[in-house]
Structure 1
Amino acid sequence: MQITFKLLKKEEANIILPYLDIMNHHKVPMDVLKERFEEMLSQNYEAFAIYDHDQLIGCFGLWNMTRHYCGRSLEADHVYIEDTYQSKGIGAQLFQWIEVYGKEKGVTTVELNTYVENFPSHKFYYNQGFIARGYHFLKKI
């Protein structure tokens, strides 16, 4: 395996839409998902592809922001690695890469959200040195 992480230009970012669709359990219509994704790309958001050599195997995004409680931060978003590539150390490699990338950008904190019922991800993130700092609530209006 030769794993690389590539920042996607706006015009090529749609290659990861199928992964976002899977992550949303196909509940968001593709045209809505695409519209939202394009809006995200116009904000403080970067989309990345994960490759094994030249084969696309996953994706992730990073929000770049400053928060009152932790300073400059990157928030990892929609981290997805194909099933056949999971449990091979790629996630750990990814978060090490994110830390280096963040330090280069002057960031002091990496944060993320994960679904409450996604217990395997909780164990993974604890093993990567993350702590559970709070709850993420939402209310659709």
Structure 2
Amino acid sequence: MNPRIVIRHLDTPADWTRAFSVMKQLRPHLTDATAFCTQLRAQHEQGYRLIAASDADTVLGLAGYRTQMNLIYGRFVYVDDLVVTNELQRSGIGASLLDAVRNIARESDCAHFVLDTGLHMALAQRFYYRNGLLARGMHFVETLNDTTEQTR
């Protein structure tokens, strides 16, 4: 990875606005930066954190995560979002973001590091295998209403 690239937490609406176009590559249903910031503020209050790989003020990749606890994993970090700009995929940025979140999990005494990916995402699955993650289950979803926010 380029030594000019820095990985840091994004904690302000100004930071989140700079990250919007990159997150939109992963979550194309996001259409408005202001609504995105409002959503991130609500998620941040529930423990969601967003880190970015940046070169100066240009966001190149993002990882969104949260620390949770359940009976299956004990204390663990769950990665909600992982994206690198299309032109920089396979550059090591995604692996560096995963490593950064994995280190946060270790420093937080988490027992596991967990994420989901779509069954149709063969390239992502290979990336996760190469980076030490193993498939351990399937994620099931039932849509309870027709609102756009609830179906994502």
TM-score, normalised to structure 1, is: 0.86
Percent of residue pairs bearing the same amino acid type: 21
Q: Which whole-Å CA distance do the structure 2 matches of 1:33 and 1:51 have between them?
A: 19
36-45 or 11-20: bigger deviation? 11-20
- Deviation, structure 1 residue 138: 1.4
- Contact 1:5 1:51 (C-alpha < 8 Å) held by counterparts: yes
Out of 99, 116, 121, which is 2:119 matched to?
116
Residue deviations 1:42-82 (CA, integer Å, cap 9, x gap): 11111111113543211111111112111111111211111
Which 5+ residue runs of structure 1 have no aligned equivalent? none
- TM alignment of 1:1-141, pairs within 5 A: 1-2=2-3, 3-11=5-13, 12-25=15-28, 27-30=29-32, 32-141=35-144
Unpaired segments ≥5 residues, structure 2: 145-152
TM-score of the two chains, using structure 2 as the length reference: 0.81
Shift of 1:10: 3.4
Matched positions, count: 140
CA contact (8 A) 1:21 1:33 kept: no
What value does the CA root-mean-square deviation take over the aligned residues? 1.9
Which aligned runs of 4 or more in structure 1 are off by greater than 3 angstroms?
31-35
